[in-house]
Amino acid sequence: MSNKALFAQRRDGRVAALQYLFSWSINRPDRIADDLEIFFVNLGLADGKPREHYAFGEELIHGVIEHCDEIDGRIRGLAQNWDFDRIAKIDLAILRLAIFEMIYRKDIPPVVSINEAIDLSKLFSNADAKRFINGILDKLKDHVGRDARKIT
């Protein structure tokens, strides 16, 4: 697979993960596996792509859900002067996704996760969100314990 195709597939995966995590943040299902099955079937019907196309996104979904308490704790610590419960759900989903990548996905340089989060905020949130999201993630970048521009 070419780099361009891989980038496009990862972008599709991030968008799918963001959409699922936004929905999950509003209404958490009892059975995630069943809920994901329905989500990916509907996504495939909408865009004609098989579930395997979204494997990266599904990995992100599971990772964020598994580490959500820790990720939310980091957001609380980094979002000074912000009431956690007042953060827009879409911005929270973007932050959770990016923070999971920055901490747990050593195959993705943190600056890539930050850039992707900002791009997602431009697509799915309001104009002010990118500054808020960038501010939180930029603070975290200096504390992840690795070079922000390299894969470890």
Task: Give one DSSP letter per residue of 80-105, joined into a string.
Answer: TT--GGGS-HHHHHHHHHHHHHHHH-
In angstroms, the CA 150 to CA 93 distance is 24
pLDDT of residue 81: 83
Q: Is the pTM of this model over 0.85?
A: yes
pLDDT, one tens digit for every residue, the chain (152 residues): 788 888 889 999 999 999 999 999 999 999 999 999 999 999 988 999 999 999 999 999 999 999 999 999 999 999 988 899 999 999 999 999 999 999 999 999 999 999 999 999 999 999 899 999 999 999 999 888 877 788 87
∠ CA 18-97-125, rounded to 5°: 50
The answer as to CATH 1.10.940.10 being correct for domain 3-141 is yes
pLDDT of residue 54: 95
**Contact present, 23 and 65 (Cβ < 8 Å):** no
pLDDT of residue 152: 74
Which tokens is 31 given?
């059975």
From the list 95, 113, 111, the residue with the least C-alpha distance to 56 is 113
| Helices vs. strands in the chain: H and E counts, helices first | 7, 0
pLDDT of residue 148: 74
pLDDT of residue 69: 97
pLDDT of residue 19: 97
**Amino acid of residue 130:** K
